[in-house]
Amino acid sequence: MSTARTLVELFEQHPSSADAAFIEGREGLSSYSYAQAWSRAAQVAHMLAARGVNPGDRVALQTPKSSEALIVYLGCLRAGAVLVPLNPGATESELNYLLADASPALVIADPTLAAVRTSLPLMLIDSHLGANALAAIDDQPTTPPPFVPTAHSLAAMVYTSGTTGRPKGAALSHANLTSNALALASEWSFSSSDRLLHLLPMFHVHGLFVATNCAIAGGGSVVLAPRFEVDVVLDQLPSCTVMMGVPTFYTRLLADPRFGADTCRVARVIISGSAPLLASTHVEFETRTGQVILERYGMSETSVLTSNPLHGARKPGTVGPALAGVSVRVVHPATHQLQPVGEIGDIEAAGPNVFNGYWNRPELNATEFTADGFFRTGDVGTIDADGYVTIVGREKDLIITGGLNVYPKEIEEAIDAQPGVASSAVIGVPDADFGEAVVAVVVAIDGVTLDVAGMREALRVVLAAYKVPKRIHVVDALPHNAMGKVEKSKLRNTYA
Ligand code: AMP
C-alpha cells in the first residue's frame, strides 16, 4: 500500500512498470506510458518555472479534453503550481470573473476557446495537434524539478457554486486529494490490471481527480475518450474493467438496445456519482447487464465522502456509508444536534479529504464550517442504522409551501413512477398564497402523450395534498449541466 502524502509521491509510487500504459487515448487522443507521462510532466514543470510560475502560483487551464491536458495537470503538480481547471464551454464573461478571482500567473488555453482573449500571460496549446500540442516544451529538461510539494501544498483550485452565490474556488491540498485517492483505490480495489474507461469531462473533480488518481494509485491505465458517446462505450467497455460516470451516461446506455451484459463482460465495477441515480436506472441496469451500479457521493470541496461497498450490500437510492477516515453526520437544521437514525437533516463532513476553505473568502469559514471543524455540505439527507447515507436534495432546493417542508426527491420519485414518465424535476416558485408553490417539470417517454390532469389525480393518492404539484409542465428535455445535474435554478427562473 502506498504511503504517499502528495500526488507527486502517489505517481512515483504507482505499482506498475515504467513502460506500463498510463493513458490509452481513443477517438484521436494520444497515449502515454507512465514513464513518458512523468518525464513530459517534468518538462511542463520546467517550462512553468521558465515562464515565471512559482510554487503556489495558480495556472488556469482551458482546453478541450485531451491527454495533454492531463500531462499539464501532472506538470503543475510537479512544479508545485495550483491548477485551476476551467470549463471549455465557459463564456468570456464567466472567465473574466474566474480569472480575476484566481489571478493565475499563467493561462494555458486552446486557441479556439474564450480564455485566449485574456490579458494575463498566456500559453497556447492546440489540442488538435495531439501529442504535438506540447511541442513547445520539447527542449525542456526531463530531470526532476527543484521544488517538491508537501502534503499541505495546494494542488488545485476548483470553482463551484457551493451552497450559495457566485462560483468560489475550492482550494484543495495535496493531502486532500491524495488521502481520497488512496481511500478510494483501497475501497474499490484498484490494481495494475485495471483499465478505466474515462468519458467524463476533465475540468471537474470527478474526471480530473477521482477517476485519474484512482487509476494512478492502482497503477492501471485510463482509456481516455474526448466525451461520452454510446458508440464509444459499445466499442471500449468490453475490454475495460472499470467505468466511472454520471447517471445520464447510464440512462443513455440503457436507451440503446445494443447495450447489455456482453458490453460489460470484463467490467468488475461500474460506478456512478455527481448527481442522483434514479432507483429505476439502478434496477434496469442490473436486469439488463447483471451489474449492480456502485453509487457514491462527493463534491468539489471534499472529493468523495461516501460509497456503496465493492463487497457487501449496495443499496439502491443510497450513496453508501462514509469512506474510511471520513466522518459524515446528519444534524437538525435549527438545533444542530445529531439527528436520530433515519431522520432528515443537514449533512456535514470532516476528514483529511475535506478542503480548508474557499480561495480569498476567509469570511465564509465561519458559516461553511462548524465550530468542531465539519464542513456544511449544503446537502440534506438521512443516515440509516447501517450508516448508509441517502441524499434528499440540496438545502437550497428545499421547498417551503404554506410553512411545510417539501423535499423534491420524494415528489420526483412519485412522478417518475407514473406511467409514461421518463424523468422529472420538482421546484418551488414564489406564490402569493403559499410562499412557495410546488411545480413539476416532466419529460414523457418518447411517443407518449401525458395526461396531466390524470397524473395529478394519481399523485393525490400517494402524496399528501400540500406535496401535490400545483402545476405540471410537460417539456421535451430538462436542462442538465455537463455533469448531468438538473439545473434547477434555470427551471425556477423559467417557471417563476
Ligand atoms: P460538485 O461540487 O459539482 O461535484 O457537486 C456536488 C453536489 O452534487 C453534491 O453536493 C450533491 O448535491 C450532488 N451529488 C454528488 N453525488 C451525488 C449522488 N450520488 N447522489 C445525489 N447527489 C449527488
What's the CATH number where 471 sits? 3.30.300.30
CB-ligand 1 contact for 160 (6 Å cutoff):
yes
> Grid coordinates in use for 225?
475518450
Residue 175 is assigned to a structural domain of this protein: yes
pLDDT in the model for residue 396 = 86
Dihedral pair phi/psi, residue 269, rounded to 5° = -160, 140
Give the span between the Cα atoms of 459 and 450, in whole angstroms.
14
Residue 261 lies in a domain: no
Q: What is the pLDDT of residue 352?
A: 98
Question: What confidence score (pLDDT) does residue 165 get?
Answer: 65
What is the layout of strands, in order, in the sheet containing 435-444? 421-431, 435-444, 471-475
The residue out of 227, 244, 277 marking a domain boundary is 227
Last residue of one domain, picked from the residues 227, 262, 290: 227
14: CATH: 3.40.50.12780
In a domain, 83, yes or no: yes
Is residue 115 situated within a structural domain? Answer: yes
**391 Cβ below 6 A of ligand 1:** yes
**Ligand 1 and 349: CB distance under 6 A:** no
On whether residue 417 sits in a domain, the answer given is yes
Q: Any idea what DSSP says for residue 18?
A: T
Domain C-terminal end among 186, 211, 227: 227
The predicted structure's pLDDT at residue 432 = 84
- 353 located within any domain: no
Cell matching residue 222:
485510463
Tell me the residue range of the domain where 40 lies. 7-227
Ligand 1 atom closest to the Cα of residue 160 is: 2
Q: Which residues of the chain have pLDDT under 50?
A: none
Number of structural domains the chain divides into: 2
Q: Is 275 near ligand 1, meaning CB less than 6 Å away? A: yes
For residue 131, give the C-alpha cell: 501529442
Question: What pLDDT is stored for residue 1 in this prediction?
Answer: 72
pTM surpassing 0.85? yes
Examine residue 418 and state whether it is found in any structural domain, yes or no: yes
Task: Encode burial over 30-56: b for 16+ CB neighbours within 10 A, e otherwise.
Answer: bbbbbebbbbbbbbbbbbbbeeebebe
User: What pLDDT was estimated at residue 278?
Assistant: 85
Tell me the CA–centroid distance for residue 475 and ligand 1, in Å: 24
Q: Is 78 part of any domain?
A: yes
- Compute and round to an integer the Cα radius of gyration of the chain: 23
Tell me phi and psi for residue 406, to 5 degrees: -120, 125
Rounded Cα gap, residues 81 and 157, in angstroms? 10
